[in-house]
Structure 1
């Protein structure tokens, strides 16, 4: 099966084409990742087209779409999800939602040989030796985070918290390392070694969705993981400017 993988839950704009075979590990055919927190809308569609060309395929060849649903900021996350939903509707293909932190964890355990070229390995790491904490930037000096057992099962989160608050829970969480696009910044404050400092990758997204896709299950509800209420609120009643 040919998967189109998309994620815009972090400052990175990610698109890739992955071949999924139930008899072997997913194989990365092409990926395009550009880090620009202000250009998700401008970059995503061209990156999808570029990845498909590099993989030698067209949109019509895609069997399913996998999309990261966060947690992430409102604007960037919506770009990826709306694009995935529109493509799925136009192509009549299923769209599988994946927690973006799950995709990071999945890539940490990926076999580098799953990539089409050695330098294209999704994370360049082996499976974590113990429980792992995955974090990404929630802005406002906070982190989106989730905790995973050694077998990759998510046991806590996703949640949002300040790094200092998260540090106070480390004894409870009992993790051995940190991963994710904010791993480098978080490692010093949390006192944990960095396992991988990458964001969601096409291979990670494909791995996180592989079981559901291979079984041709109906996709789960396509719902964004915002974790915060929006800053924008409905305006109140207008102020009276004339006497009653």
Structure 2
């Protein structure tokens, strides 16, 4: 199966073309583009997608599904990725699956655990990304399962324990006194891995619901008066 993966929930604008096999193996990345610029989501995402398709020698009509990170993330950037994924899905008539961006980062870390050929487990994991306003988005994982979060908090309100390592935004991960795994944003394969079971089964996707976790900065005048 040919799957397009996109994510704009972090400062990294991520897109990639991934082949998903039917045997439960890790998704194969055919082409990927990542631009680290939190102000360029709208400008670079669609060109990146087209570049990935061209590099892999495929056309949009060959896509079987789309996977998009639904956050948590800042309002404007997150909206770009989700709207783009939904537009491609609607135009092509293919399902669009939303996944938690933090889950995809955790999946990438889990993949690194087993990169030596063993089904290793490096221990409980904390994933953090930049929520701005001196806050972070966070979630905690035990093996393949999310056991806490996602939530938005100030770093001082979150303890590393019982996690024994942390991944995600490098400046924020460094605030915790546990080893840092260098996975700062989700890979296209990590995004697809989270949705792999549903994609393989051809399941009807849940509605795309963005994980803002707080209200947007811009509100209607009537809302401010209230």
TM-score by length of 1: 0.85
SS of equivalent to 1:16: strand
Greater C-alpha Rg: 1
Counterpart CA distance in 1 for 2:6 and 2:126 is: 23
- For residues 137-179 of structure 1, the C-alpha deviation after alignment (integer angstroms, 9 at most, x for no partner) is 00111110000102x1001110001111113xx34xx101001
User: Contact (CA 8 Å) 1:128, 1:195: kept in 2 or not?
Assistant: no
Question: 5+ residue gaps in structure 1?
Answer: 115-125, 238-244
Shift of 1:235: 1.1
What residue in structure 1 maps to residue 125 of structure 2?
132
What is the aligned counterpart of 1:179 among 156, 161, 167?
167
- For residues 196-237 of structure 1, the C-alpha deviation after alignment (integer angstroms, 9 at most, x for no partner) is 232011010010110110111111221000001122222149
The yes-or-no answer on 1:149 pairing with 2:150 is: no
Q: 4+ residue runs of structure 1 moved beyond 3 angstroms?
A: 111-114
What residue in structure 2 maps to residue 118 of structure 1?
none
Which residues of 2 match residues 1-244 of structure 1 at below 5 A? 1-23=1-23, 24-110=25-111, 128-150=121-143, 152-167=144-159, 170-171=160-161, 174-180=162-168, 182=169, 184-236=170-222
Question: 5+ residue gaps in structure 2?
Answer: none
User: Contact (CA 8 Å) 1:108, 1:127: kept in 2 or not?
Assistant: no
- For residues 76-123 of structure 1, the C-alpha deviation after alignment (integer angstroms, 9 at most, x for no partner) is 000000000011000000000000000101111226999xxxxxxxxx
Task: Report how many aligned residue pairs link the two structures.
Answer: 220
Counterpart CA distance in 1 for 2:175 and 2:26 is: 35
User: Contact (CA 8 Å) 2:130, 2:172: kept in 1 or not?
Assistant: no
